Amino acid sequence: MSNLATNQENVARVAPLADVFESERDYLIVMDVPGVQGADIELELDKDRLRVTARPAQTQDPVIFSRDFHIPAGVDGETIAAAAHAGVLKVTLPKRPEVQPKRIEVAVH
């Protein structure tokens, strides 16, 4: 059973701050989840939606961090990676090779 599947009555739901960056190869989501350890974070990918849910292990006020992100069609859902450290969650969403930019050499005659 999930660490998050506890009594959710009287629990505040908070949409944490997040930044989303795009590079040629991937998207990066950086989200503040203060007081949360990696084991207390769940990521769920459902078609074009990524849901992030986290609950701090030790807090006076019961709170659940929850945020949904729309995932572009070119993301490789099989290779999404996430890491948490010091209250910051980083989720890397690699783009499939066919949607990444390609360099074309120019022939010199």
Residue 6 has pLDDT above 70, yes or no: no
- SS3 letters for 55-69? CCCCCCCCEEEEEEE
Q: What is the pLDDT of residue 8?
A: 53
Q: What is the pLDDT of residues 59-100, one digit of tens each?
A: 677 889 999 999 998 999 999 999 999 989 999 999 998 887
* All structural domains of the chain with their residue ranges: 12-88
- Burial class of residue 62, CB neighbours in 10 A (0-12, 13-18, 19+): middle
Q: Is the pLDDT of residue 25 over 60?
A: yes
**Confidence (pLDDT) at 9:** 61
Q: What tokens were used for 88? A: 């910051």
User: Which residues are paired to 29 by β-bridges?
Assistant: 20, 91
Which fold does the domain 12-88 belong to in CATH? Immunoglobulin-like (2.60.40)
